Amino acid sequence: MTALLRVEGLSRYYGARAGCECVSFELDEGEILAVVGESGSGKTTLLDCVSGRNKPDSGTVVFNTRIDGPLDVWRLSEAARRMLARTDWGYVHQSPREGLRLDASAGANVGERLMALGARHYGRIRAEAVGWMDAVELDSARIDELPTAFSGGMQQRLQIARNLVTRPRLVFMDEPTAGLDVSVQARLLDLLRGLAGELGLAAIIVTHDLAVARLLAQRMIVMRGGGVVESGLTDQVLDDPQHPYTQLLVSSVLQA
Amino acid sequence: MSAISGTGYNYAYLDEQTKRMIRRAILKAVAIPGYQVPFGSREMPLPYGWGTGGIQVTAALIGPDDVLKVIDQGSDDTTNAVSIRRFFARTANVATTERTREATLIQTRHRIPETPLAPGQILVYQVPIPEPLRWLEPRETETRTMHALREYGLMHTRLYEDIARHGRIATSYDYPVVVNGRYLMRPSPIPKFDNPKMHMSPALQIFGAGREKRIYAVPPHTRVESLDFEDHPFEVQKWNESCALCGAHDTFLDEIVMDDRGGRMHVCSDTDHCTTRQARASAAETLEARA
């Protein structure tokens, strides 16, 4: 079986400094990969290079598209790459303010991708938005309210709904639970795990929270200084860390 | 062309090189219908927002044989219209008119004349903000990419918001259109009542934005479609009243407050169309009286 996403030798330099260096990994359909590491370790650079937002200096990102099979994302035309980014991919930002259109209602936020793909029937777009708000456990009676009227956790769920409306096969998430309180985090993680299972979503989740990785991801990679220091099955890496840095990371988590 | 004697200014105010630069922008705009062509907008002897874009386009196009008409909100006799008409009468020695039919060049702010335009006529619009995606996407680099890749779904989110809030598409002027099936275009703040007149018009339509330094155009016989939803189709304004002066019921009406007791009256916003109709009606009455 061909992998959904294959990343090989991906490097991105900021001047002489490496944002991420020679990173390779594969991701299968329906698999969730966590990228952990301290801040400044290159997690977000890696995510941006893979998701078509930041052009890498070298390396390839091959995505197995629905119609044309495996294609190198960075060899596609900009039009095709942007098309991919709003159909087969989703991107959940750390701050919902970046990922949402704050001056448009919740319904318009969810429906935006559909309209971008040519949906021109108001009633159907709205029905779809109601369905997705229900799916992420938002009160669909609030469909006409602005995102600013929602709490942080609700905004984050709205952002997820907005991404899932085109039924993407791969979702990129940049610290999706950061800045939320612990109970809301737990609920969001629960929801994400449920949706991923239900829709067969593959995801790459950047996080510095090992608990998030433990709960959601089948596999994880640990980054430091732009390079990968350890990778493997999540339980394996967390229960039996091999690299000194991973050991430090695991041991520095407070036990409640 | 030489200077206008006694004024110290070149013909039609702008120097010949500037006019040539503007004509090049116009040619490109006509070749790519709806595409915004950047041009080196000049300082004009009137403030930005008063039609500096339109006046530069007119200056680049006008010749001594032209007949110029200038309208502001449909009216020939408001300050803006009178000043611009006089400006060209002085600097370009050109004949002016208030009759839509007689004009070869019409500069307009916020209206398209009710009288259908004819082949050979040029309509010049004054445009405050040319970018239709501006309030949705503030980055110019991003809006240009969106135009280049024809990513116009965002515009529909605005219409969606309208329906969600008001139950119908409440945008009533500067209503977004797609030109020739390709470029999304802002038609300048004309009422959406006038949008259908742009579609397949036999006249050449040129849009000038002075502050934003953009020129775009709709060549004759070009498709101009207003955006809408399948279940909320595009509609123009309708009035229950008809014009109190000429009796027309198919024109764009202005509501005028007559006194402080709530008295009001609806009249045509296009003054030339209204007076022509009144003159025709009174001529017919005279004929009837004689018969």
A174-210, pLDDT tens digit by residue?
999 888 888 888 888 999 999 888 998 999 999 988 8
Question: Cα(B11)–Cα(B1) distance, rounded to whole angstroms?
Answer: 6
Contact residues on chain B for A79, CB-CB shorter than 8 A: 149
Neighbours of B187 (CB within 10 A): 26
Q: Report residue B279 CA to chain centroid gap.
A: 26
Whether residue B36 is predicted with pLDDT greater than 70 in this model: the reply is: yes
The b-or-e profile of A6-45 (16+ CB within 10 A means b, else e) is: bbeebbbeeeeebbbbebebebeeebbbbbbbeeebbbbb
Whether B268 is catalytic:
yes
Question: Cα(A54)–Cα(A42) distance, rounded to whole angstroms?
Answer: 12
Find all residues with CB under 8 Å of A202, minimum gap 6, and list them. Answer: A4, A5, A27, A28, A29, A30, A31, A32, A33, A169, A170, A171
Going by C-alpha positions, the residue among A39, A44, A38 that lies closest to residue A249 is A38
Model confidence band, residue B291 (pLDDT cutoffs 50, 70, 90)? confident
% of chain B exceeding 90 in pLDDT: 89
- pLDDT at residue A66, rounded to an integer: 87
CB within 8 Å: B153 and A107: no
Which residue is closest to B227 within chain A, CA to CA? A120
Enter the tokens of residue B75.
Answer: 């009216």
Measured between alpha carbons, how far apart are the two ends of chain A, in Å?
Answer: 42
Q: Is A120 an interface residue toward B (CB < 8 Å)? A: yes
For residue A92, the cross-strand partners are A173
Contact residues on chain B for A121, CB-CB shorter than 8 A: 229-231
- pLDDT at residue B9, rounded to an integer: 86
Average pLDDT, chain B: 94
Whether B40 is catalytic:
no
Whether residue A256 is predicted with pLDDT greater than 60 in this model: the reply is: no
Pairing of strands B253-257, B264-268: antiparallel
Contact residues on chain A for B157, CB-CB shorter than 8 A: 101, 104, 108, 111-112, 115
Arithmetic mean of pLDDT, A136-160: 94
Residue located via tokens 């979503």: A201
Find all residues with CB under 8 Å of B96, minimum gap 6, and list them. Answer: B67, B68, B69, B70, B85, B88, B89
pLDDT tens-digit readout, B101-120 = 999 999 999 999 999 999 99
Q: A100 near A155, Cβ under 8 Å?
A: yes
Confidence (pTM): 0.88
Question: Cα(A152)–Cα(B111) distance, rounded to whole angstroms?
Answer: 46
CB within 8 Å: A82 and B151: yes
Model confidence band, residue B4 (pLDDT cutoffs 50, 70, 90)? low
The 3-class SS string of B64-124 reads: CCCEEEEEECCECCCHHHHHHHHHHHHHCCCEECCCCCCCCEEEEECCCCCCCCCCCCEEE
Residues of B with CB under 8 A from a CB of A: 145, 149, 151, 153-154, 156-158, 160-161, 163-165, 228-232
Arithmetic mean of pLDDT, B116-139: 95
From the list B34, B54, B74, B208, the catalytic residue is B34
- pLDDT at residue B269, rounded to an integer: 94
CB within 8 Å: A108 and B160: yes
Domain ranges of chain A: 1-88+168-256, 97-167
Length of chain A: 256
CB within 8 Å: B151 and A108: no
Structural domain A1-88+168-256, CATH architecture = 3-Layer(aba) Sandwich (3.40)
Find all residues with CB under 8 Å of B93, minimum gap 6, and list them. Answer: B4, B11, B64
Q: Is A113 an interface residue toward B (CB < 8 Å)? A: yes
Residue A98 corresponds to which amino acid? E
Q: B190 near B174, Cβ under 8 Å?
A: yes
Q: What is the dihedral of CA A138, A141, A145, A149, to 10 degrees?
A: -50
Length of chain B: 291
Average pLDDT, chain A: 92
Which among B153, B230, B231 has the least Cβ separation from residue A115?
B153
Lowest-pLDDT choice from A71-80, B6-15, B16-25, B80-89: B6-15
Q: Is A116 an interface residue toward B (CB < 8 Å)? A: yes
Contact residues on chain A for B160, CB-CB shorter than 8 A: 104, 107-108, 111, 115, 122, 125
- pLDDT at residue B204, rounded to an integer: 98
pLDDT tens-digit readout, A87-135 = 999 999 999 999 999 999 999 999 999 999 999 999 999 999 999 999 9
% of chain A exceeding 90 in pLDDT: 77
CB within 8 Å: B156 and A120: yes
Check residue A41 and give left, alpha or beta (phi > 0: left; psi -120 to 50: alpha). Answer: alpha
Q: Is A79 an interface residue toward B (CB < 8 Å)? A: yes
Asked if the ipTM is above 0.85, the reply is yes
| CA–CA distances in Å: residue A48 to residues A13, A64, A70, B80, B114 | 13, 18, 19, 52, 54
- pLDDT at residue B38, rounded to an integer: 97
Tell me the three state secondary structure of residue B264: strand
- pLDDT at residue A35, rounded to an integer: 95
- pLDDT at residue A167, rounded to an integer: 92
Arithmetic mean of pLDDT, A205-217: 90
Arithmetic mean of pLDDT, B17-31: 98
Runs of H (alpha helix) within chain B: 16-31, 52-61, 79-91, 140-149, 153-166, 195-198, 271-290
Contact residues on chain A for B153, CB-CB shorter than 8 A: 112-113, 115-118
- pLDDT at residue B187, rounded to an integer: 96
- Provide the sign of the torsion angle of the four alpha carbons B217, B218, B219, B220, taken in this order: negative
Whether residue A255 is predicted with pLDDT greater than 80 in this model: the reply is: no
